[in-house]
Each structure stands twice: as C-alpha cells, then as structure tokens.
Amino acid sequence: MKKSTRKVVRLTKGEKLLYTLGVLCFIFTLVIRVFSSASIGNLKMDIEKISYKIENQEKKNQSLVMQVNELTSYENLSGVLKEMGLAYNNENIIVIK
C-alpha cells in the first residue's frame, strides 16, 4: 500500500495581497453602484417635482394671460369708459407688449 501524499498549496504574500485587493475592489464597486443608483433615483424624483411645479406655473400664467385679454377687450374698455364719462378714441390707445 502506498501512502497518499497531499500537496499543500501555499500562497505567497504577493498573491494574498492581490486576492485581497481584488475582493476589496469588487466590494467597493458594489457599494458605489448602490449609492449612485440611490442618488440617481433621488435626482429623478426631484426632476419630477420640478416639472410638476413648472406645469402648474404654466397653467397659472395661461390663466392670467386670459384674464388680461378679457380685461383689455373692447367691450370691457367701452364699459369702463362709459362709467367714467369718457369717449373711446382708438388713436389714443397704446398697446404695450
């Protein structure tokens, strides 16, 4: 009967260092990916909030433009002029844009 001989594989200091650095780099990459994904998600939520505010402000602006157009209409002007006892003279009206 032969005795079985086992070969013991020993790692050198350099190999241990390389394996350790590889594992640390892998873990570091995973951590960075998780944090960057979270920050991208937060940025997307902020963008959605800002776009919602912009849409609301555009609706308000459109409503105000409509009110200005109603107030500057000929019918409204003639009514105000008659209340004040004035005459409508188209040559004296200045439109500012």
User: For 19-63, what is each residue's pLDDT tens digit?
Assistant: 999 999 999 999 999 999 999 999 999 999 999 999 999 999 999
- Map the chain to HEC letters: CCCCCCCCCCCCHHHHHHHHHHHHHHHHHHHHHHHHHHHHHHHHHHHHHHHHHHHHHHHHHHHHHHHHHHHCCHHHHHHHHHHHCCCCCHHHCCCCC
Q: Taking the model in full, what pTM does it have?
A: 0.57
Q: Which of 33-37, 71-75, 92-96 has the lowest mean pLDDT?
A: 92-96
